Amino acid sequence: MASNLSYKSFSKFYDIFELIFLLGRKGNPRLGLLDAIGNAPLHVLDVGVGTAASAILVAGHNTQNHVVGIDTSAAMLAAARRRITQRGLTNLEVFNMSAADMRYADESFDVVMASFALHEFEPPLREKTFQEISRVLKPGGIFYVIDFAPQDDRATRIFLKLWALVEPPCFAGFLAMDWHRHLTAYGLRLEDEREYSFSKLYLLRKA
Ligand SMILES: C[S@@+](CC[C@H](N)C(=O)[O-])C[C@H]1O[C@@H](n2cnc3c(N)ncnc32)[C@H](O)[C@@H]1O
């Protein structure tokens, strides 16, 4: 939706984005994500954490999860830190780090999540991100994605056509991606996908 430069001003009103889920009838994907991860002692990484909209929900409800979020926008991270402090969350930290070059050891996370970030990554960054996610996930670990996704209903088709106007050109290619075929190449097997308003939750497991 925005370049790193424009996230500086965008971070101030980014959370208005949440309102789009009220327009759809299939539910809020962030709640689906929260439910899917579950409350267990899991080490969770949120890639492209932004203002921590999903990470705060997960860490706030799943108090046994330890969540770390990474992002390259200082402004988005500052907004995330303010919200984390306001809520007094001690199981969520955020760091300035690129998804393409993570400073984490191989197989260090039980769960990796990416919410509404990958659709705006240009293909080279997206591919490097998939490679890094596969590297830092433990064997049997799960990669959860919530993001915009095509669906058969008319409301979603119209919404995505309009939303594409505010997204970078790589958005169309992202929507057309075959998750099963594409992610198998990274050792990640698509086990489930669920529909939410204008979006889907994908569950991919590392072999
Ligand atoms: C649309 S926002 C999504 C934020 C949040 N995950 C959410 O659900 O609202 C995309 C985020 O990806 C971040 N981003 C862009 N390039 C990145 C990179 N190379 N590594 C990590 N984060 C990146 C942006 O700074 C931005 O905060």
Query: pTM for this structure?
Result: 0.94
How far away, in angstroms, is 38 Cα from ligand 1 center?
23
**What does the pLDDT profile of the chain (207 residues) look like in tens digits?**
555 557 666 666 666 677 777 778 899 999 999 999 999 999 999 999 999 999 999 999 999 999 999 999 999 999 999 999 999 999 999 999 999 999 999 999 999 999 999 999 999 999 999 999 999 999 999 999 999 999 999 999 999 999 999 999 999 999 999 999 999 999 999 999 999 999 999 999 999
Which ligand 1 atom is the nearest neighbour of the CA of 17? Answer: 9
Virtual torsion, Cα 122, 125, 129, 132, nearest 10 deg: 170
* Count of Cβ atoms closer than 10 Å to residue 165 Cβ: 7
* CB-ligand 1 contact for 1 (6 Å cutoff): yes
Structure tokens at 120: 């705006």
Side-chain half-sphere of 136: how many Cα atoms within 13 Å? 23
pLDDT at 20: 76
pLDDT at 10: 63
pLDDT at 18: 73
* CB-ligand 1 contact for 133 (6 Å cutoff): no
CB 15 within 8 A of CB 30: no
* CB-ligand 1 contact for 98 (6 Å cutoff): yes
pLDDT at 177: 97
* CB-ligand 1 contact for 99 (6 Å cutoff): yes
CATH number belonging to the domain at 7-206, selected among 3.40.50.150, 3.20.20.370, 3.40.5.50, 3.40.50.720: 3.40.50.150
* CB-ligand 1 contact for 147 (6 Å cutoff): no
- Output Rg (C-alpha) for the chain, integer angstroms: 16
Mutate to test the pocket of ligand 1, among 1, 33, 49, 96 (most ligand atoms within 8 A of CB): 49
Domain boundaries, the chain: 7-206
**Pairing assessment for the beta strands 43-47 and 66-71 based on DSSP bridges:** parallel
pLDDT at 9: 67
pLDDT at 181: 96
How far away, in angstroms, is 13 Cα from ligand 1 center?
15
Helices (H) and strands (E) in the chain, counts: 9, 7
pLDDT at 205: 98
How far away, in angstroms, is 98 Cα from ligand 1 center?
9
